[in-house]
């Protein structure tokens, strides 16, 4: 009787799904990219469709030093639309952790509602503990080691082909490594539109005139660009002193703070603001931060540039930004 109940539950679930969203196709060989000390392979898994495109990655370090990978810097580039950053852990869990109205209880009986367990078939496999296990996280890949995990993407439309760009690769000493690109094909042909995929918010570039002065130093913010990958602040630092100003510490400590008090750290490897400003001169550049949220749109933040030094004096610069 218990076996019959399980079978009926599975048949009811499969029969109530309506028009299929994809047609099965043989899984292709993983797309690969290699260089002297690092190799990567990716394969699209079908278990997250139609909510996400799940790319399961394998990264192997064959070099003599550890390599730092940060999936937040990876970009999914479809053949027919804009690039997409990986979905966050919370986005994936919210979308996929939705038990079927008809499922199988732990005891094996048919149950109605949200009580059910994973039986390893289709959406039943997308429970929180398996999502947590699969997610690729920032890590140091030791020499000879292999890192494996999944990233989840929500492009505006289903691509036939896509590229996955690995940015933000670094050695243990902080030396930036060239980006790596995988060119991949989708292993499935989708039969319907991706109605469950949210349209990604468009990048925003906002011109502004924001200024703050402290002692002989002043900072002007002329624009801010918000994307899913990063937030870029264009700044000019003016030094009215007769001696050189050092921004070395200030750049490393730079922050954006949103209205809720959340702090977004600077990405020094992407920033190009000069570390020194000559006497009675100015320096232009960009500071790149962890991305501010686009959904819902942010309307204000505070830009902090603490620890700027002129001679023996240290100054903290603060600019209120209104979008």
Residues 31 and 178 in one domain: yes
In this structure, what CATH number is given to the domain that contains residue 53? 2.60.40.1150
Residues 233 and 104 in one domain: no
Q: How far apart are CA 99 and CA 111, in angstroms?
A: 11
Tell the burial category of 77 from Cβ atoms under 10 Å away from its Cβ (0-12, 13-18, 19+): middle
In a domain, 73, yes or no: yes
* Cβ–Cβ < 8 Å for 38, 63: yes
Residue range 180-205, pLDDT digits in tens: 888 888 776 554 444 444 445 667 88
158-162, 209-213, 259-263: range with highest mean pLDDT: 209-213
Residues 82 and 216 in one domain: no
Residue range 216-237, pLDDT digits in tens: 999 999 999 998 788 999 999 9
Structure tokens at 268: 């020094």
- The pLDDT assigned to 190 comes to 56
- Which residue segment(s) compose the domain that 316 sits in? 204-322
In a domain, 181, yes or no: yes
Domain count, the chain: 2
- The pLDDT assigned to 308 comes to 96
Q: How far apart are CA 244 and CA 312, in angstroms?
A: 11
Residues 208 and 181 in one domain: no
pTM of the predicted structure, to 2 decimals: 0.48
Structure tokens at 216: 């002989």
Residues 158 and 273 in one domain: no
Q: How far apart are CA 78 and CA 89, in angstroms?
A: 21
């Amino acid at each position: 009787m218990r076996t019959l109940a399980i079978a009926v539950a599975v048949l009811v679930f499969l029969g109530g799904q309506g028009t299929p969203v994809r047609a099965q196709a043989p899984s292709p060989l993983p797309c690969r990219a290699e260089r002297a000390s690092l190799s990567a392979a990716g394969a699209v898994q079908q278990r997250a469709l139609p909510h996400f495109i799940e790319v399961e990655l394998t990264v192997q370090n064959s070099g003599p030093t550890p390599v730092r990978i940060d999936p937040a810097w990876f970009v999914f580039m479809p053949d027919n639309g804009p690039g997409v950053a990986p979905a966050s852990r919370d986005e994936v869990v919210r979308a996929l952790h939705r038990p079927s109205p008809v499922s199988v209880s732990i005891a094996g009986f048919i149950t109605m509602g949200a009580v059910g367990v994973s039986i390893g078939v289709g959406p039943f496999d997308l429970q929180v503990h398996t999502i947590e296990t699969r997610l690729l996280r920032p890590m140091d890949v030791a020499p000879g080691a292999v890192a494996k995990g999944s990233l989840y993407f929500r492009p505006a439309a289903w691509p036939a082909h896509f590229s996955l760009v690995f940015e933000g690769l670094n050695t243990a000493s902080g030396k930036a490594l060239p980006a790596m690109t995988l060119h991949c094909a989708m292993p499935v042909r989708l039969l319907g539109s991706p109605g469950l995929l949210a349209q990604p918010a468009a990048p925003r570039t906002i011109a502004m005139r924001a200024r703050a002065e402290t002692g002989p130093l002043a900072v002007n913010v002329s624009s801010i660009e918000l994307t899913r990958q990063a937030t870029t602040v264009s700044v000019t630092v003016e030094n009215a002193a007769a001696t050189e100003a050092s921004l070395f510490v200030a750049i490393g400590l730079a922050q954006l703070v949103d209205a809720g008090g959340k702090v977004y750290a600077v990405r020094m490897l992407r920033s190009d603001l000069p570390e020194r400003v000559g006497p009675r001169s100015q320096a232009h550049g960009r500071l790149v931060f962890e991305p501010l949220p686009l959904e819902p749109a942010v309307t204000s933040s505070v830009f902090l540039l603490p620890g700027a030094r002129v001679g023996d004096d240290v100054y903290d610069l603060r600019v209120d930004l209104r979008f």
